[in-house]
Structure 1
């Protein structure tokens, strides 16, 4: 048996050329930089368009909105979110996997409420859908089809509504696109019509490297109508809030609304914040007209609250209600739901921080300030205003820590939420935001079990998206300061003015600077933290630290760390480690984290993930066991089954019975021919290595193979002297050997490097395995690990994920390249128990490159993938 090839589980495909590091960096920076740049342009445009308007005028219009208008806007919002649930219902029907109306409605509403309010719709809404639908029996491919269906419906509806509106109502001449309104309307209308016409094409269309199966005409019509109704109701919410002076008909309003929405979406700014407002002001010709600009800005502010924040609060109540019900019943919440809670609390903390910063940037109500002046010293007011904004900035930072499940972030967030509520009352009797902060603190308090990580907050990596979000919130707060106090002439003395009724501008400036300083200090502390991840091969000292953990670990495969070809990442207390290597952008960890401390092992997965992200790499965990799958699901990795591992239960293993007749005869025959097994302790292996080297070289020449690596050992003297050796002797001549992996807990025994002379007696590998199992049973070991059968156990069913179907096809028909079935049958004759093995990988389009990298790593280079 060619044991050297047992774990070569990833077959090679076409290998794309690797992009240069500079291009990789620019691709990572492009999206966030574009979002921040577009936001800055939008805020600058708003500043120019609203230069004649002050904060009081905007607030006055909001307060003047009648209860009837507000209720009507809320009703249209409710109808709009009800229509959004049809996206998912039609998508599930199109793939033939319908779910109950209640489940689909709940998850659709929660996902859209969060994605609309927080932006990052593909990330937020897509991750919620993924977790929910996977738990309800959908495959990864089916979830991708649902997301694609919903996204297509979203854009088809917007394009159809925009195109028809532009053909129906001309754009205002002041808009830059006014002269292109008619051709633009024709072009946008033709796209949905082409989609409907494509429903008559029965075969898939090939677009570049993808094949697209067109939906039926009826399904395409449903997509367009749902999307158009969604956007039409969103426009109706804002329409009823707009001032009467702009009542030129819904069609004229809709033309400006849809153009503003498209530009906002293209800008990549979350929610189109600032961009949407600037286009709306320009579209209605409000430049320089304070009587028109202030009401429009007031209507837009009310629209943001009703259409975005109210659904977010409602979704929050639903989530908390579900959590409270689970706590009352003392039962575990659904895994998909529990996995969402950290991200849910992170989103709300981000919103709370933004609320505090925006509140600190705007003018307090005069009536409330008059009350405070009677009961509160001025110094308390000034300090409270300053600290409330600093807490706002810190909450933006802590939101990332909550998403990463940090225990320190949990406790700091609880403390700062309560402190923020107190300071909100002391700085302006802002009981509205104080109530929000207290409710969030009450919701977060019983969820401590979700935030178990003891890592430092300063070691948390901040993605470019998170940095862009924090910068965007701070930029909006700075714009609000300028907008709220544009009538105040700036002077150096302004920083030192303190007053109850005339000190609003100085307080806002001081608070803004204090928040900026808090953010910069955190960024500086994060930048100077030591980078723990390294790719140097371990020295003798590190291997000596790892050896006790290896011997106490339940899996004998942890001994692969002793090969010394993989870097070791320890936790701070050296209670566990991850062994890994890199190829391209893939940072591949071999197996599960090694160690008996479960908390240290769990933390190492997060640490490895964060430091890979910081290095711009893809974190991959290769050949992980079912018992630890939750470690990888919690950090957002996807799982691919790569085969099954054969483990023989030793207490029931023997050579009795008819089924073991062949093995029994082989062992007896070779015993009569003078073969015997000797277990050589590690300290006595070195003198035997010259003889064993001759066996190894002869085996490599005979099999025409070369040394593998990573998931297998190689003939390296420094490696082989670290483990005991099983040697098969024929008279006084060694004819076969295998180095042993033995755990001190007697949980498992296994072998790694197995080689024999080409002229050795037939059946020598059977003899070696049987004698080793009998020896291990006598020594008290529970299991003998025969290694993995690549791609075994994968199902080629219509509903199975694409990877499973492909792997099953290769397993069944790839015999000319690798003896997949033969290897499984060989191990099966020892009556093992088969246990699945997985690879944990990031989602997205990087998977083909990751598979190629892993194959290259195991084979010792790309040339080793295509040759033995």
Structure 2
């Protein structure tokens, strides 16, 4: 399973990124002291259209080569998938991760979501991702070792040390690449680590890895090289060495897209090229190599939503529409974040004088000023709404669509920026068809912002402020500047837009800080239980009745027609089953629960869930672990006839002859037999030497039992066994919860009780009888199975000293049930053992109950 990062590094890393980014900005500012903004503009204009076209062509070729990573990985794991699917998954993941980096979602998680939809197991996806990462770094190692040895350059930060050349680094890279080839060539057996097996590729595949990785890096460097001015005095291979060194430093920094870090390393490593020329070329490079593919990926998925029902659409677009459910919200969040950044950067840079002169006859100065100011405020709004889109909020979708449409118009009104208007329009076109992906009806102010998101917003805002300071560093600032309103007053507009953006961001931050502190979980009161009972009466799932135990906190939705029942143990917030209520409310309520847990700093866990909500749990970033299988007996054709029911028929007839009888007491008469049921329950607990459980299991509580009919078995007029009945709405499902019997009960009393209940349920018109779950049932112990499944399978077959796993499955199997899987959705990795301990403790009533019956 994909591992979750530990909490401390996860919280600290964004602030390290912020520090590194601040250092990169300082280097850029120092390197550009002698230059002005118009120098960079002149360099941008000097880049010919033929060179831009060549850069676009090389970018297309580079991304095609990048898809080779996934095609080669699919060949390595020996799991054939269609070419269109693999190409789509690879392009989306790289278009996303190249631009945004690790701030929203890694390329590995996008691959996990898409490839798991196509049937790949988690372990195979992990191997595929590891293979692509290895190919990626082998490419750096191969081409870097050649360049750094043949054309060594000086490492800027080591220039005052005796060893400051990249040649030693080249030898190290060559040694690593050579060692990899030797291991592949001579080692014929896989590596083993505990229960994991790492199979090495063939030598032909290894050489192909080196070739694809090297071509990818060479083409990426070519894109920037063709955008540089002519006669710079640096050969392509010399520049490729600088490019590789800057990219490696940017990757290590983890700054999203290497923004600032990459540029500063290029400036430090290539002092012979004027800084304004370098920065101008790198801005075009960013737009072509990063922003253009990201926009194309967004349009591809948005177009897929519109066209997926048309038979003549290409397979790639169909795949995008079919499997975009998990990727679209993240990708649109990335494009919205990018749109906000574009608006902020545009707001702090001057508009071309020619365009302003062209619109002054049409628009008044107040319209231009107001359009400019509002564009920057919308930029801040889009940065924040991007988080809501990632979390699938319907309000975020509506507001983002409105703001994108408005900002596209304002881009024309503030200075005729048609390029910006077109870009924002394309982002809007990509967003509009995807309404169905944003289903959460929750408040925007209730959404939590992770440290990574906070840092991302600060990075973009800080970059825009620095860009404005750099652009207008020749201006003499004074108090009068704030109130100057002129057609070409770029500096005053920059100041007003920046202050407005900062004030808006601070106001929203204060509003979030002043929101009501969430209440601590408490047991439900009588009114909540009555409300829950009304909802349960409409639910076909009988497990919903566990809420009436009163030992779990209930979270209701705003409409008060759905709820989630949960308990807290340690840092684990454990929801029992899927949300209860109308299916159309379930997704939004599940997200509200996750939001509640995050506000308390806990870990979100869904225990014993079915299959219909699994995509939502995956969208939340949770990992799925199979707990076992639930047995459900179809009652429509259930009978005791035939050879398969021979054993049940014998028990049924024998106990009837011995004086046993079956009866169902309705709920309004349960109180009549409660004292007798209490006596049987107490004896049963004492005989079994066990204590009452809870949470996912019922316990003897008179107020709880009064809610249900009770099935009893009498032996010569004396009650010897009982079970309370759970009855699903529309008679879809019948089940039992608390099952107890006295020592005087005849042998096979539970078989007799189950058989009578199924016959009674069939007579009443129920469609199925729920026999409950067989823990760890259905897990496979195969070489490619996830580690959890392999461990669970061993415990299932070898753990009879702890729990009769196989015996329980065999007991239920004699009723010929239909088996359906049940899962645990929770953070994965090293958190899993603690989560399982907390779940067990919650069910057992504390740690003591785990070890004492």
TM-score > 0.5 by shorter chain: yes
SS of the equivalent of 1:246 reads: coil
What residue in structure 2 maps to residue 9 of structure 1?
none
The offset of 1:329, in angstroms, is 5.2
Q: Tell whether the 8 Å contact from 2:181 to 2:206 is kept in structure 1 after alignment.
A: yes
Structure-to-structure mapping, 1:398-413, within 5 angstroms: 398-413=385-400
Partner Cα separation in structure 2 for residue 613 and residue 468 of structure 1: 18
What residue in structure 2 maps to residue 51 of structure 1?
33
What residue in structure 1 maps to residue 631 of structure 2?
646
The offset of 1:563, in angstroms, is 1.4
The offset of 1:788, in angstroms, is 1.3
Structure-to-structure mapping, 1:238-253, within 5 angstroms: 238-244=224-230, 246-253=232-239
The offset of 1:679, in angstroms, is 3.1
Partner Cα separation in structure 2 for residue 864 and residue 203 of structure 1: 46
SS of the equivalent of 2:61 reads: helix
Equivalent in 773, 776, 780 of residue 791 of structure 1? 776
The offset of 1:532, in angstroms, is 4.9
Indicate whether 1:357 and 2:344 are aligned.
yes
Q: Which is further off, 706-715 or 426-435?
A: 706-715
What residue in structure 2 maps to residue 491 of structure 1?
478
The offset of 1:825, in angstroms, is 2.0
What residue in structure 1 maps to residue 571 of structure 2?
585
Equivalent in 19, 23, 40 of residue 37 of structure 1? 19
The offset of 1:636, in angstroms, is 4.4
Unaligned runs of 5+ in 1: 1-15
Q: Mark the CA change 1:136 to 1:26 in structure 2 (over 3 Å): closer, same or farther.
A: closer
Equivalent in 265, 272, 276 of residue 294 of structure 1? 276
Equivalent in 832, 835, 846 of residue 850 of structure 1? 835
Partner Cα separation in structure 2 for residue 608 and residue 542 of structure 1: 17
What residue in structure 2 maps to residue 752 of structure 1?
737
Structure-to-structure mapping, 1:606-621, within 5 angstroms: 606-621=591-606
Q: Mark the CA change 1:192 to 1:827 in structure 2 (over 3 Å): closer, same or farther.
A: same
Q: Mark the CA change 1:373 to 1:555 in structure 2 (over 3 Å): closer, same or farther.
A: same
What residue in structure 2 maps to residue 151 of structure 1?
133
Indicate whether 1:841 and 2:803 are aligned.
no
What residue in structure 2 maps to residue 77 of structure 1?
59
Equivalent in 41, 44, 47 of residue 62 of structure 1? 44
Partner Cα separation in structure 2 for residue 758 and residue 543 of structure 1: 35
The offset of 1:141, in angstroms, is 1.0
Partner Cα separation in structure 2 for residue 471 and residue 509 of structure 1: 18
The offset of 1:866, in angstroms, is 5.7
The offset of 1:213, in angstroms, is 4.4
Equivalent in 816, 825, 830 of residue 831 of structure 1? 816
SS of the equivalent of 2:475 reads: coil
Equivalent in 414, 420, 441 of residue 427 of structure 1? 414
Q: Which is further off, 342-351 or 660-669?
A: 660-669
Indicate whether 1:764 and 2:746 are aligned.
no
What residue in structure 1 maps to residue 449 of structure 2?
462
Unaligned runs of 5+ in 2: none
Equivalent in 406, 412, 437 of residue 450 of structure 1? 437
The offset of 1:140, in angstroms, is 1.3
CA distances 1:618-649 after superposition (whole Å, capped 9, x unpaired): 32222222344444344444433322222223
Q: Tell whether the 8 Å contact from 1:69 to 1:240 is kept in structure 2 after alignment.
A: yes
Q: Which is further off, 57-66 or 299-308?
A: 299-308
Indicate whether 1:385 and 2:372 are aligned.
yes
Q: Mark the CA change 1:205 to 1:659 in structure 2 (over 3 Å): closer, same or farther.
A: closer
Q: Tell whether the 8 Å contact from 1:538 to 1:564 is kept in structure 2 after alignment.
A: yes
CA RMSD of aligned residues (A): 2.8
Q: Mark the CA change 1:829 to 1:102 in structure 2 (over 3 Å): closer, same or farther.
A: closer
The offset of 1:851, in angstroms, is 3.6
SS of the equivalent of 2:10 reads: helix
The offset of 1:205, in angstroms, is 4.5
The offset of 1:863, in angstroms, is 5.4
Partner Cα separation in structure 1 for residue 280 and residue 262 of structure 2: 14
Indicate whether 1:818 and 2:803 are aligned.
yes
SS of the equivalent of 1:375 reads: coil
Q: Tell whether the 8 Å contact from 1:89 to 1:98 is kept in structure 2 after alignment.
A: no
Q: Which is further off, 508-517 or 386-395?
A: 508-517
Partner Cα separation in structure 2 for residue 724 and residue 749 of structure 1: 11
Q: Could you tell me the TM-score, scaled by structure 1's length?
A: 0.91
Q: Tell whether the 8 Å contact from 2:62 to 2:220 is kept in structure 1 after alignment.
A: yes
The offset of 1:432, in angstroms, is 0.6
Q: Mark the CA change 1:662 to 1:315 in structure 2 (over 3 Å): closer, same or farther.
A: closer
What residue in structure 2 maps to residue 3 of structure 1?
none
The offset of 1:484, in angstroms, is 0.7
Partner Cα separation in structure 2 for residue 533 and residue 748 of structure 1: 35
Q: Mark the CA change 1:108 to 1:628 in structure 2 (over 3 Å): closer, same or farther.
A: closer
Partner Cα separation in structure 1 for residue 530 and residue 370 of structure 2: 55
Q: Which is further off, 53-62 or 751-760?
A: 751-760
Q: Mark the CA change 1:314 to 1:747 in structure 2 (over 3 Å): closer, same or farther.
A: closer
Partner Cα separation in structure 2 for residue 636 and residue 217 of structure 1: 36
Partner Cα separation in structure 2 for residue 108 and residue 732 of structure 1: 71
What residue in structure 1 maps to residue 116 of structure 2?
134
The offset of 1:416, in angstroms, is 1.1
Q: Tell whether the 8 Å contact from 1:175 to 1:283 is kept in structure 2 after alignment.
A: no
The offset of 1:174, in angstroms, is 4.6
Partner Cα separation in structure 2 for residue 452 and residue 573 of structure 1: 15
Indicate whether 1:500 and 2:504 are aligned.
no
